[in-house]
């Protein structure tokens, strides 16, 4: 709340005014004002609230509502909910569920997109300014939705300004620092002597709130070691201390209520017999909303109250909070008012936790359960609630808080000990400290005498963790060795199949792997593992079938993880099938969804597609960044992906020593799937480098895998690899003639056969194979292999035909994706929903696409053959 003219802040005002002017022109944007408490963020928000031509909606995070899902988002949207009926039905329902207007589980994807549509609709009549103060206290669900919104308003007349002490680091920000000495002196207008003035200026360090409040604290504040924040709070407490008891009681109740609802406040203070006509010493304003002059004032009031006074305030607020319309806040107030163990309140909190989880508020669920555990008199129930709270904290991404809470659990029975070790294992895996699989193994052993199915699941959890960590760590071999002693089941399952693969090899394990892939529920329960087994079997058809099921499931359910996994795997499958256009479209869509929710993309999909495309500089740059990322995350399997990609690229460029080194790094760990598909690269490079023993050993390994697989993909690459080692023409012919061999591998087989024919001085026969190979590789966009084929063809005396230059290369990845979707007939609204954009953003991209392609309509786009691969 402004107390006078704005002093200084010329650069900050310029940035904010620029944001508003752009939004008024339809180019929305976001800015986060970051700085210490009292530094002037709220005053800057007051400045832009006065902007003409904008409709302003606002909200503020609350220290006491950081656990309640969508609390701040609801505040922001309430003034524009009259547009709710104008939204797409799915978006309307998503917001109704998120705001507790109807039952259901909110879809975080649709909540973000629904908020975007709601605010964009409200901004049609007048540009919209969204002001969010105290954003460091946003609840988790609101943070995700508002971060999504902030990244998606570029084509809307919407400006969003956050004020936060910290956080929202991924969004554009402006750090607010202290005022200059000149501006600080201009602000310090209190009539005080010069010595006190200089001391205040030194202590305030340019903090505007401190400059206003420290004089009321006596001028000298607290010792130097105390923070400016504490000195400001001391100033507020000094004001509070001068108030009569009734006023202090009123302010305590106000500080304990995060809603700022005056009706609730007056009902509570009436219940306590407190007069309402007391002087609040400018600390709080009572209007349509109860508002403290600064968040630190509220904190100072709440902390200044005694424990009994705070409990009294919460007890009164609980009594006047509607148990039907707001049961969760009522339960929380009751819990804060409790003086000891109380099973009734604990049960109420348990119910509130279930409601919070159903609404997607896992952070709130964790907070309710943790408090319920503290109030539970029964030790067993207390342990159950604590373990459930740990799991909820983990689900909310708070691994450190989950680990700290888990240290309070003291159990003796095997089942609960196993649960604690499972939780420790998941925490360790998220923290990347390497102990995750080991802790899962301990849990599996404990459960073996308690719950057989759960025990085997824990062995599989450990195995999946070790697959991500990578075989090179040695963890996977430990897991497999210990899993051999797992209690048996009536029918062989995936655990048995993987144990058999590890102990007796592919020929023995092949039939069992195929059976669990096709007959079990592996797809639904462990889709990532199912994909890896399909890859281990060189079964591109099974891989495609699982991918299509995942895509359908992901789009139907809106599950972000399932949809992104499906798109990444669609990209991989399309890459190995030779459809790089579909591959890069899927990569771009997965990355768009990841970006919408500020998650890292599943980079291995781009690694596969980029490697086969074969642009050397681009591919090596991607491999380098992937290896850095994999090292940071402890993802050994991603390391193997990068080395496989390097081997493919170097073979395509005929840099065989580099290809051999990369292929050895890719195959050495023995990672599921990656070690197999890297063997043909190793064999080709080893033969070209004259390391025939290494090539023969790799061929023996590859042959065993192909015999177990029996798929055209496996048999074809094995045939050409055998031809490289033996020089037998029949093997080359088998590879190029094998029905069902994926197109990239058939083209590579023809390239290798043509090279062999040329070296055999059979130029005419070589030209035929090389010509077909070059055309196929060029048409698929496998540029490095196509260039290698062209060079070989030139050596036979024939010049390869050149592809027509593609004038549409200037399209960005997202523009390419949108162009491809629109070319299939999708509307802007359909594309927007799929990519979590607004229709206006899609239309803006389309205008750029039309300009770059030299066309003017969707029909021309559908007819265009100039949309690039990526």
The string of pLDDT tens digits covering residues 147-185 is 888 888 888 899 999 999 888 888 899 998 877 777 777
Q: What is the mean pLDDT of residues 60-69?
A: 76
The top-scoring range by mean pLDDT among 28-42, 467-481, 563-577, 651-665 is 651-665
The vertex-702 CA angle with 697 and 705, nearest 5°, equals: 135
Do residues 171 and 162 lie in contact, with contact meaning Cβ atoms separated by under 8 Å? yes
Residue 384 parent element (H or E) = helix 379-395
Strands 290-292 and 284-286 turn out to be: antiparallel
pLDDT of 228:
63
Residue 496: what pLDDT?
A: 86
Task: Give the pLDDT score at 597.
Answer: 66
Cβ(314)–Cβ(266) under 8 Å? no
Q: Which of 282-291, 363-372, 418-427, 650-659 has the lowest mean pLDDT?
A: 282-291
DSSP codes, 91-142: HHHHHHHHTTSS-S---HHHHHHHHHHHHHHHTTTS-EEEEEE-GGG--HHH
Q: Is residue 269 part of a domain?
A: yes
- Determine phi and psi for 57, rounding to 5 degrees: -120, 145
Flag whether 677 is in a domain: yes
Ranked by mean pLDDT, which of 201-210, 531-540, 541-550, 714-723 comes out on top? 714-723
Tokens representing 753 are: 């056969």
**pLDDT(4) > 60:** no
With cut-offs at 50, 70 and 90, classify the pLDDT of residue 334. very high
Rounded to the nearest 10 degrees, the angle between the axes of helix 307-320 and helix 262-271 is: 110
Of 377-381, 405-409, 761-765, 840-844, the one with minimum mean pLDDT is: 840-844
pLDDT digits (tens, 9 = 90+) for 123-143: 999 999 999 998 988 888 888
Query: Cα dist. 56→376, 398, 400, 585, 865 in Å?
Result: 45, 33, 38, 38, 46
Question: Hey, how many other C-beta atoms are within 10 angstroms of the C-beta on 287?
Answer: 8
Distance between CA atoms of 677 and 575, rounded to whole angstroms?
A: 13
Name the DSSP letter for residue 51. -
Reference 302, options 62, 42, 586, 19; nearest CA is 62
> Looking at per-residue confidence, does 490 or 33 come out higher?
33
Q: Where are the alpha helices (DSSP H) in 411-451?
A: 414-431, 436-447
Determine the pLDDT at residue 714. Answer: 95
Nearest to 634 by CA among 478, 474, 468: 468
What CATH number did the domain enclosing 95 receive?
3.40.50
What are the tens digits of pLDDT across the range 575-606?
A: 999 998 888 888 888 887 787 666 788 898 99
Q: Which residues of 756-782 are buried (b: 16+ CB within 10 A; e: fewer)?
A: bbbeeebeebbbbbbbbbbbbbbebbb
Same domain, 102 and 50: yes
What's the pLDDT tens digit per position in 268-320? Answer: 999 999 887 777 767 888 877 788 877 778 888 888 999 999 999 999 999 99
CA atoms within 13 A on the CB side of 638: 23
Q: Is residue 379 part of a domain?
A: no
User: Quick one: pLDDT band at residue 869, thresholds 50, 70, 90?
Assistant: low
Domain holding 824, by residue range, is 813-863
pLDDT in tens, 289-301: 788 877 778 888 8
DSSP 78: G
Q: Which of the 8 DSSP states describes residue 269?
A: H
Cβ atoms of 137 and 61 within 8 Å: the answer is yes
Residue 297 shares a structural domain with residue 203? no
pLDDT over threshold 60, residue 229: yes
Q: Which SS3 state, helix, strand or coil, does residue 160 take?
A: strand
Share of the chain above pLDDT 90, in %: 38
Statement to judge: residues 732 and 798 lie in one domain: yes
Which residues, 6 or more positions from 117, have their beta carbon under 8 angstroms from its beta carbon? 87, 88, 91, 838
Claim to verify: residue 45 and residue 158 sit in the same structural domain = yes
Query: Which secondary-structure segment (H or E) carries 562?
Result: helix 560-577
Averaged pLDDT, 194-202:
63
**Region of residue 538 (phi > 0: left; psi between -120 and 50: alpha; otherwise: beta):** left
640 in the same domain as 752: no
Per-residue exposure over 560-587, b if at least 16 CB sit within 10 Å of its own CB, e if not: bebbbbbbbbbbbbbbbbbbbbbbbbbb
Tell me how far apart the alpha carbons of residues 183 and 173 are, in angstroms, rounded to a whole number: 23
Residue 693: inside a domain, yes or no?
yes
**Residue 436 · residue 428 · CB < 8 Å:** yes
Phi and psi at residue 581, to the nearest 5°: -60, -50
Task: Tell me if residue 703 falls in helix, strand or coil.
Answer: helix
What is the pLDDT at residue 780?
Answer: 92
pLDDT value for 421:
87
Same domain, yes or no, for 126 and 266? no
Quote the pLDDT of residue 622: 93
Q: What is the DSSP string of 467-501?
A: HHH-GGGSHHHHHHHHHTTSPP-SS--HHHHHHHH
Residues 105 and 147 in one domain: yes
Confidence grade of residue 222 (pLDDT, cut at 50, 70, 90) = very low
* pLDDT for the residue 157: 93
823 and 717 in a common domain: no
Asked if 20 and 51 touch (Cβ cutoff 8 Å), the reply is yes
> Helix, strand, or coil here: 158?
strand
Q: Say what the pLDDT of residue 451 is.
A: 83
Note whether 15 and 120 are same-domain residues.
yes
Distance CA 183, CA 8 (A): 6
pLDDT of residue 177: 82
Can you give the pLDDT at residue 1? 46
The CATH number of the domain holding residue 833 is: 1.10.10.10
* Helix, strand, or coil (residue 635): coil
The reply to whether 385 falls in a domain is: no
Clarify whether residues 85 and 127 are in a common domain: yes
Would you state the pLDDT for residue 221? Answer: 39
Q: How many CA atoms lie within 13 A of 90 on its CB side?
A: 11
Q: Is 194 exposed, middle or buried (0-12, 13-18, 19+ CB in 10 A)?
A: exposed
Q: Answer yes or no: is 762 within a domain.
A: yes
Q: Is the pLDDT higher at 832 or at 204?
A: 832
The burial of 798, by beta-carbon neighbours within 10 Å (0-12 exposed, 13-18 middle, 19 or more buried), is given as middle
Average pLDDT over the chain, rounded to whole? 85
Residue of 254, 350, 339 lying closest to 304 (CA atoms): 254
**Using CA atoms, how far apart are residues 539 and 537, in angstroms rounded to an integer?**
5
672-724 confidence digits (pLDDT tens): 899 999 999 999 999 999 999 999 999 999 999 999 999 999 999 999 999 99
Query: Are 125 and 14 within one domain?
Result: yes
Asked whether residue 805 carries a pLDDT value surpassing 50, the answer given is no
pLDDT at 261: 84
Q: What is the pLDDT of residue 558?
A: 63
Residue 788: per-residue pLDDT:
95
My answer on whether 60 and 201 are in the same domain is no
In a domain, residue 433? The reply is no
Residue 225 has pLDDT above 50, yes or no: no
Domains held by the chain: number: 7
Bigger pLDDT: 525 vs 512 = 512
**HEC assignment per residue over 239-276:** HHHCCCHHHHHHHHHHHHCCCCCHHHHHHHHHHCCCCC
Place of tokens 């989880």: 357
Report yes or no on 493 lying in a domain: no
Sign of the alpha-carbon dihedral angle for 422, 423, 424, 429: positive
Strand partners, 31: 161
- The total number of residues shown for the chain amounts to 870
Helix (H) or strand (E) segment spanning residue 163: strand 158-164
Q: How many helices (H) and strands (E) does the chain have?
A: 45, 7
Q: Tell me what pLDDT residue 286 has.
A: 84
Q: What is the dihedral of CA 49, 51, 57, 63, to 10 degrees?
A: -20
For the chain, what percent of residues have pLDDT higher than 70? Answer: 90
């Amino acid at each position: 709340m402004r107390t006078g003219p704005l002093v200084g802040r010329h650069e900050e005002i310029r940035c904010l005014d620029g944001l508003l002017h752009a939004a008024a022109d339809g180019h929305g944007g976001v800015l986060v004002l970051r700085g210490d408490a009292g530094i002037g963020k709220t005053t800057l928000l007051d400045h832009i609230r006065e902007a003409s031509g904008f409709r302003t909606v606002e909200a503020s995070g609350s220290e006491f509502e950081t656990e309640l899902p969508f609390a701040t988002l609801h505040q922001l949207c309430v003034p524009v909910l009259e547009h709710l009926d104008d939204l797409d039905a799915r978006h309307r329902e998503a917001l109704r569920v998120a705001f507790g207007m109807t039952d259901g589980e909110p879809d975080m994807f649709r909540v973000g997109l629904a908020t975007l549509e709601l605010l964009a609709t409200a901004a049609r009549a007048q540009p919209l300014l969204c002001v969010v103060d105290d954003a460091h206290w946003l609840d988790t669900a609101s943070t995700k939705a508002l971060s999504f919104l902030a990244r998606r308003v570029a084509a809307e007349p919407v400006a969003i300004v956050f004020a936060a002490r910290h956080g929202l680091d991924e969004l554009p920000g402006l750090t607010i620092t202290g005022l200059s000495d000149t501006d600080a002196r201009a602000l310090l207008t209190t009539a005080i002597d010069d010595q006190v003035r200089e001391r205040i200026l030194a202590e305030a360090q340019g903090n505007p709130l401190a400059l206003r409040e420290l004089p009321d604290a006596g001028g000298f504040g607290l010792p130097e070691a105390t923070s400016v924040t504490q000195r400001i709070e001391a100033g507020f407490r000094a004001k509070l201390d001068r108030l009569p008891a009734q006023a202090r009681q009123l302010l305590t109740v106000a500080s304990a209520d995060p809603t700022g609802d005056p009706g609730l406040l007056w009902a509570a203070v009436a219940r306590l017999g407190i007069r309402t006509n007391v002087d609040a010493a400018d600390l709080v304003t009572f209007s349509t909303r109860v508002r403290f002059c600064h968040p630190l004032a509220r904190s100072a009031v709440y902390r200044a109250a005694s424990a009994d006074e705070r409990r009294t305030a919460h007890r009164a607020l609980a009594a006047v909070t509607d148990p039907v319309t707001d049961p969760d806040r009522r339960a929380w107030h009751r819990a804060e008012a409790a003086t000891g163990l109380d099973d009734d309140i604990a049960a109420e909190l348990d119910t509130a936790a279930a409601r919070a989880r159903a609404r997607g508020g896992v952070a709130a669920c964790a907070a309710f359960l943790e408090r319920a555990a503290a109030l539970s008199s029964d030790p067993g129930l207390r342990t159950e609630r604590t373990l459930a709270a740990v799991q909820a904290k983990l689900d909310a991404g708070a691994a450190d808080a989950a680990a700290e809470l888990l240290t309070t659990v003291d159990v003796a029975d095997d089942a609960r000990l196993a649960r604690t070790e499972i939780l420790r294992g998941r925490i360790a895996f998220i923290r990347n400290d390497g102990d995750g699989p080991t802790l899962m193994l301990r849990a599996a052993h404990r459960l073996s005498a308690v719950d057989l199915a759960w025990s085997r699941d824990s062995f599989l959890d450990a195995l999946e963790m070790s697959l991500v960590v990578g075989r090179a760590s040695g963890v996977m071999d430990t897991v497999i060795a210990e899993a051999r002693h797992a209690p048996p089941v009536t029918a062989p399952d995936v655990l048995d199949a993987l144990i058999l693969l590890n102990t007796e090899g592919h020929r023995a394990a092949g039939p069992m792997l195929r059976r669990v892939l096709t007959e079990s529920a592996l797809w639904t329960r462990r889709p990532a593992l199912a994909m890896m087994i399909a890859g281990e079997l060189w079964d591109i058809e099974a891989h495609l079938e699982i991918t299509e099921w995942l895509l359908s499931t992901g789009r139907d359910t809106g599950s972000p993880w399932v949809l992104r996994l499906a798109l990444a795997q669609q990209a991989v499958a399309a890459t190995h099938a030779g459809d790089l256009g579909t591959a890069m479209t899927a990569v771009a869509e997965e990355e768009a969804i990841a970006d919408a929710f500020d998650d890292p993309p599943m980079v291995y999909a781009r690694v596969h597609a980029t490697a086969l495309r074969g642009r050397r500089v681009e591919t090596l740059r991607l491999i380098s960044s992937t290896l850095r990322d994999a090292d940071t995350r402890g993802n050994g399997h991603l390391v193997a992906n990068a080395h496989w990609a390097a081997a493919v690229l170097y073979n395509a460029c005929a840099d065989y020593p580099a290809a051999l080194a990369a292929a050895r790094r890719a195959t050495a760990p023995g990672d599921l799937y990656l070690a197999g598909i890297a063997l043909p690269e190793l064999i080709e490079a080893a033969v070209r480098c004259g390391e025939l023993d290494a090539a023969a050993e790799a061929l023996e390994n590859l042959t065993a895998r192909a015999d177990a697989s029996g798929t055209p993909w496996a048999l074809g690459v094995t045939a050409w690899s055998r031809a490289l080692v033996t020089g037998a023409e029949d093997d080359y012919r088998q590879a190029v003639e094998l029905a069902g061999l994926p197109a990239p591998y058939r083209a590579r087989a023809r390239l290798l056969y043509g090279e062999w024919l040329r070296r055999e001085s059979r130029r005419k026969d070589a030209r035929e194979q090389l010509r077909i190979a070059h055309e196929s590789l060029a048409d698929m966009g496998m540029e490095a292999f196509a260039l290698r084929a062209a060079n070989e063809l030139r050596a036979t005396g024939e010049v390869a035909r050149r592809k027509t230059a593609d004038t549409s290369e200037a399209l960005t990845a997202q523009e390419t994706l949108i162009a491809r979707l629109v070319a299939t007939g999708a509307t802007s609204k359909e594309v927007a929903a799929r990519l979590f954009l607004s229709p206006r953003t899609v239309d803006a991209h389309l205008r750029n696409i039309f300009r770059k392609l030299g066309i003017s309509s969707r029909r021309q786009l559908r007819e265009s053959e100039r949309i690039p691969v990526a």
